[in-house]
A and B are shown apart, each in its own frame.
Chain A
Amino acid sequence: MAEHAIEMKDICKDFKVLNRHEGLKGSIRDLFSRDYKTVSAVKDISLTVERGEIIGYLGPNGAGKSTTIKMMTGVLEPTSGSITVNGRIPYKDRKANSENIGVVFGQRSQLWWSLPLIESFKLLRDIYMVPQKDYEDMIELYRSLVDIEPILHKPVRQMSLGQRTLSDILAAFLHDPAIVFLDEPTIGLDVSMKSKIRSLISGLNSEKNTTVILTTHDMGDVDALCKRIVIIDKGMKIYDNDIEHLKSYFGSYRTLKMRIGTDEWEEIVIDEKTTDIMDIIMKKQKEKKIRDIKIEEISTEEVIKKIYEGDAK
């Protein structure tokens, strides 16, 4: 077994795209055009992931998260740089690599659409050649973590979004992979389903010591699951450290909440180093009557927003 779960060094990925021209004339010209431009989706990313870690992999839309994950899963070959997953080079031996990883990608179910979940499980057991004993143990473990009875005999196409996501996550863990990639697992789910899924992931992670790479836009996921976060933007890694460290980065920031109308809260994020909170309150007080005041530590959500907006320097 390799030392690290994932090791990436100076990974770059470029795509070639056609320069499209505008308008009807442009469309006709494009028919014959050879005018390509190179777009780099990922620039010089280095990353080491240890076994058993849950990493929050964050970044605004189009930052290059999916591209990185596709390289880790062996679907894409990097333009340059070196990458090993479980000690293997994923794109060189995609099949061997997928033996040891599990993937839940976006909202696309990877299960057989019209089969009951249990039949999908059995097929996956055969495909991954999971010994019967291990398979049964895993199902037992699932039973102890979530209530799978209501979905076990239901065809995937008849499931609700939440049930489907749950099923996909279970299916990704079924062959006890060393690493599981989860791409926005809680998107579009209700509050109770979200918390169910979070506790399932953390339960599986601690039981099986599975490394989890979690892509999400939901800071609730990050707060509940991740100790370490990696943030990328425009293809570059801009943050890689503990979540606590990140907050202390913005330690002097506070969220000031003021109730102005009867039920109307106004929120302002303030850096105490540069602005005095009292000043702001006084100023506001002169304009309108403040009925209630709260001062809170900055939330992860706000921190991430600040980073995306480029305040992290």
Chain B
Amino acid sequence: MTIRRYLALTRAGIMESLQFRLGTFVTLLGNLLYIILVYFLWKAIYASAGTESVNGMTFNDTMIYLILATALFNFLEMFVVWDMSRSIQSGKIILDLLKPMGFRGYTFWSYSGSHVIMFFLTFLPTSVVVFIITKGAIPLGLNIIWFVISTVLALIVNFNIEMLVATLCLYTESTWGINIVKETIVLLLSGASIPLAFFPETLSKAVSFMPFRAVYDIPLNILLQKNGTECMSGLLPYLGFQALWAVGLTVLSMVFWNISVRKITVNGG
């Protein structure tokens, strides 16, 4: 059974993450402090604004959105670009290519373990805290199921963006450079640092067609039942948008990867 093989990777990933005992606690603490920073900043911003709601977002909305975006960011974070560049430089890439399960699949499933850990370490506790503090601002209903589906799609979109950029490592040694470009674009245009609701109209129009929104903004909107996601007719276009990009980017990154690998095997890397 092939799924068993993949789940074995997930399990190994979980155990590996737990090996870093103190590191785990530090991660929790660091996140907490980060959320506190965000809280103080936006509290001051809203206090200075003088109005309850700006661009349809109240302080509570913004806070919940940003906190969950951070949690989602930690949960989805991958280091495929760094892994790839390291394995190219050490020559390990050849061994990876020889593995019987395909490089992309192998990478994806290796990360699934750390995703599981990060979900329990960051996203779940953060959500619970937010739920308690805001006294139930996160609706509990069918939206949770839609959120899970949406997050899985976000994971696929994110992974493929990572893979696309990581493939570039086969062409250049400038890992830091391409990684920072990717990170900057994704963080800004996905609405992880500032909610997309605050963007000027032309910019937010442009962003609404890009895949980055599918990573943070859409799952969060679905979880919080904002922007018409509370009814089916509003929800489906969002999920459709994500699914479309998930498929599109998967194909794109797979093609790019296969072409690139053929290129290095021909040229002898």
A28 to B15, CA, bound (A): 8
**B236 interface residue, CB < 8 Å from A?**
no
Q: A31 — nearest CB in chain B belongs to which residue?
A: B21
Q: How far is the CB of B118 from chain A (nearest CB, A)?
A: 15
A24 to B7, CA, bound (A): 13
A39 to B15, CA, bound (A): 24
Q: B19 — nearest CB in chain A belongs to which residue?
A: A27
Q: How large is the interface on B (under 10, 10 to 19, 20 to 34, 35 or more residues)?
A: under 10
B1-50 interface (Cβ within 8 A of A):
11, 14-15, 18-19, 21, 24
Chain B 164-206 against A: per-residue CB contact (8 Å), 1 yes, 0 no? 0000000000000000000000000000000000000000000
B15 touches A24 (CB 8 A): yes
Contact of B24 among A20, A23, A24, A31 (CB under 8 A): A31
A58 to B24, CA, bound (A): 40
**A30 interface residue, CB < 8 Å from B?**
yes
Tell me whether chain B's interface is mostly helix, strand or loop, or mixed.
helix
A298 to B24, CA, bound (A): 55
Chain B residues closer than 8 Å to A30, beta-carbon distance:
18-19, 21
Contact of B11 among A20, A24, A28, A31 (CB under 8 A): A24
Chain B residues closer than 8 Å to A31, beta-carbon distance:
18, 21, 24
A23 to B12, CA, bound (A): 9
A27 touches B14 (CB 8 A): yes
A28 to B117, CA, bound (A): 11
Chain A 13-44 against B: per-residue CB contact (8 Å), 1 yes, 0 no? 00000001001100110110000000000000
B19 touches A24 (CB 8 A): no
A28 to B24, CA, bound (A): 11
Q: B12 — nearest CB in chain A belongs to which residue?
A: A24
Give the one of B14, B15, B24 with max A CB within 10 A: B15
Chain B 213-249 against A: per-residue CB contact (8 Å), 1 yes, 0 no? 0000000000000000000000000000000000000
Chain A residues closer than 8 Å to B19, beta-carbon distance:
20, 27, 30
Q: A18 — nearest CB in chain B belongs to which residue?
A: B21
A27 to B12, CA, bound (A): 10
Q: B20 — nearest CB in chain A belongs to which residue?
A: A31
Chain A residues closer than 8 Å to B18, beta-carbon distance:
27-28, 30-31
Q: How far is the CB of A112 from chain B (nearest CB, A)?
A: 17
Q: How far is the CB of A79 from chain B (nearest CB, A)?
A: 24
Q: How far is the CB of A31 from chain B (nearest CB, A)?
A: 5
Q: How far is the CB of A164 from chain B (nearest CB, A)?
A: 15
A31 to B21, CA, bound (A): 5
Chain B residues closer than 8 Å to A23, beta-carbon distance:
15
A/B interface sample: 16 pairs, CB < 8 A? A20-B19, A23-B15, A24-B11, A24-B14, A24-B15, A27-B14, A27-B15, A27-B18, A27-B19, A28-B18, A30-B18, A30-B19, A30-B21, A31-B18, A31-B21, A31-B24
Task: Give B residues with C-beta under 8 Å from A.
Answer: 11, 14-15, 18-19, 21, 24
Task: Give A residues with C-beta under 8 Å from B.
Answer: 20, 23-24, 27-28, 30-31
